[in-house]
Amino acid sequence: MPRPGRNTYSDQKPPYSYISLTAMAIQSSPEKMLPLSEIYKFIMDRFPYYRENTQRWQNSLRHNLSFNDCFIKIPRRPDQPGKGSFWALHPSCGDMFENGSFLRRRKRFKVLKSEHLAPSKPADAAQYLQQQAKLRLSALAATGTHLPQMSTYNLGVSQPSSFKHPFAIENIIAREYKMPGGLAFSTMQPMPAAYPLPNQLTTVGSSIGTGWPHMYSSGMIDTATPISMASSEYSAYGVPIKPLCHGGQTLPAIPVPIKPTPAAVPALPALPAPIPTILSNSPPSLSPTSSQTATSQSSPATPSETLTSPAPALHSVAVH
């Protein structure tokens, strides 16, 4: 396991599992589903490390897609000719990653065999999923709820719902995320020794390139996979429906939200505090798993670095 060291990460293996990377790719797509080739592309575009030994990691990735229940295969429609199916995230897999951290899952996502909720036939499941998604979306629209932006994997029990884990998918893939005020961190101090700091990531996706050496950040990538994470659309779609059915093998005409807004999460005001905590060694309000993981894998990053950054900016931004 490569650890974030002092050198550039450009060619080093990112600390994300294939599951994470795949989830990122899928989540980054407007429709929340991608063919295998696009998943490859996404990963190679963003992580130079994966531009080599493609046979190797792509085999592993395919293995993960098949092996893990959190990925569901969606058949191509007749009007979408091509090879292979689309892959999407299982509607119930949202809490796979503790605190939204994509470093390591707290537990493997497994579809229950006796899922009484979900229809058994794919055709039914398709309808069911679509129905659920529509209901969900219309409900959201009706309430006019401004959902916590990109809170897809933000499951933090004691975190404000606006908190976005530095390794959360939103932060990872939100390269095009633009702050309302057009703020940018591109001029930020280079931080070769550390993985993206929460404030950097949460604040502006475009800054990832500088603060996140293992991710490629040249403009060319954007042409490949337009990311709509910053759009309001994502806010809606990105909030998964947890209680949604399991085992939905289907063909959703509309993207199925991945995970519900954690209802249990107390509606606390945005706190700058939790973030630095993650990368530091004190886990107070965060789950040990998450913080431990984050720290263990980015050890050389000195917590002080994270603390010296303009942390407060980050949440006010994240919320909006």
Partner DNA sequence: TAGTGTTTATGTGTTG
Partner DNA sequence: CAACACATAAACACTA
Please select the residue that binds DNA; options are 7, 8, 52, 59, rule is CB under 7 A. Answer: 59
For residue 82, state whether it binds DNA (rule: CB under 7 A): yes
Please select the residue that binds DNA; options are 7, 8, 37, 80, rule is CB under 7 A. Answer: 37
For residue 288, state whether it binds DNA (rule: CB under 7 A): yes
Site size for DNA (CB under 7 A): 37
Q: Determine whether 99 is exposed, middle or buried from the number of CB atoms within 10 Å of its CB (0-12, 13-18, 19+).
A: buried
C-alpha–C-alpha distance, residues 238 and 152, integer Å? 5
Write down how long the chain is. 320
From 56-64, 190-198, 201-209, 236-244, give the range in contact with DNA by CB under 7 A.
56-64
For residue 299, state whether it binds DNA (rule: CB under 7 A): no
At 229 the three-state DSSP class reads coil
Residues 107-146 that bind DNA (CB under 7 A): 107-108
- Looking at beta carbons only, is 7 or 37 nearer to DNA? 37
- Looking at beta carbons only, is 47 or 163 nearer to DNA? 47
Please select the residue that binds DNA; options are 56, 77, 146, 320, rule is CB under 7 A. Answer: 56
Q: Determine whether 139 is exposed, middle or buried from the number of CB atoms within 10 Å of its CB (0-12, 13-18, 19+).
A: exposed
Please select the residue that binds DNA; options are 104, 165, 259, 315, rule is CB under 7 A. Answer: 104
For residue 279, state whether it binds DNA (rule: CB under 7 A): no
Residue 240: CB minimum distance to DNA, A: 18
For residue 16, state whether it binds DNA (rule: CB under 7 A): yes
* Helical axes 54-67 vs 36-46, angle rounded to 10°: 130
Q: How many CB atoms lie within 10 A of CB 268?
A: 14
For residue 106, state whether it binds DNA (rule: CB under 7 A): yes
Please select the residue that binds DNA; options are 161, 280, 293, 306, rule is CB under 7 A. Answer: 293
C-alpha–C-alpha distance, residues 142 and 153, integer Å? 23
Contact 114, 128 (CB under 8 A): no
For residue 36, state whether it binds DNA (rule: CB under 7 A): yes
Helix (H) or strand (E) holding 35: strand 33-35
47-54 own/partner pairs: CB under 8 Å, 24+ apart: 47/14, 47/21, 47/214, 47/215, 47/216, 48/10, 48/11, 48/214, 48/216, 49/10, 49/11, 49/12, 49/13, 49/14, 49/214, 50/21
Please select the residue that binds DNA; options are 7, 11, 63, 145, rule is CB under 7 A. Answer: 63
For residue 46, state whether it binds DNA (rule: CB under 7 A): no
Q: Which residues bind DNA (CB under 7 A)?
A: 1, 13, 16-19, 35-37, 40, 56-57, 59-60, 62-67, 73, 81-85, 87, 104-108, 288-289, 292-293, 296
